[in-house]
Amino acid sequence: MAEYKDFVKEFAARTKNNLDFIKKAKTQQALELYEFTQLVNSLFGLLVIPQQRERNRINDDFIDATILTNLQNKITRNDYPYNDFAEILRHMHNALAHGTITISSPNGYISAIEFTDKNPKCKNKQFSIMLTYHELLGFVYDFSSKLNEKL
């Protein structure tokens, strides 16, 4: 197991490599692999580690403008005054950390995930965003690439 020289950058790059491996292995072999589970695990690592270590450097430039616009358009409820990338990351991080996610799986296949962040001090304030599997996958790939390029 190789050591990390620059943890955040290499973690982001290794996350993409792991997701690529699972995708390729699933199509080439009859293995029972869970891409969505790995995607959520990868997302959790990408949201926690960079947010804690590099929060002052993460801004709207850390995501493709099209993906950022798509994220902003997928917000289903936002009782907070901001919807920039750092705020969206913070709310998605909180939702994962507190387990306030809902998986949509009509017909037995996971199609989307909803991240809901509730403020316990302000019971009527809530943030919610619903992303399809492919939107979430695009976000994870783009964000991990940007972390690797910009940090």
Mean predicted confidence (pLDDT) in 7-21 = 78
Instruction: Determine contact, residues 115/91, Cβ cutoff 8 Å.
Output: yes
Q: For 39-83, what is each residue's pLDDT tens digit?
A: 888 888 888 887 777 777 888 888 889 999 999 999 999 998 889
The pLDDT, as a whole number, for residue 91 is 93
Phi and psi based region of residue 63 (left: phi greater than 0; alpha: psi -120 to 50; beta: remaining): beta
Q: For 23-39, what is each residue's pLDDT tens digit?
A: 777 777 666 667 788 88
Instruction: Determine contact, residues 46/93, Cβ cutoff 8 Å.
Output: no
From CA 95, how far away is CA 49, in angstroms rounded?
15
Residue 116 has pLDDT above 80, yes or no: yes
Largest alpha-carbon pair distance within the chain?
A: 49
Q: Which residues of 29-51 are buried (b: 16+ CB within 10 A; e: fewer)?
A: eeeeeeebebbbebbebbbebbe
**pTM of this prediction?**
0.82
Q: At what angle do helices 7-28 and 35-54 cross, to 10 degrees?
A: 170
In this predicted structure, which of 27-31, 91-95, 122-126 has the lowest mean pLDDT?
27-31
SS3 19: helix
Percentage of the chain exceeding pLDDT 70: 93
Residue 4 has pLDDT above 70, yes or no: no
Percentage of the chain exceeding pLDDT 90: 30
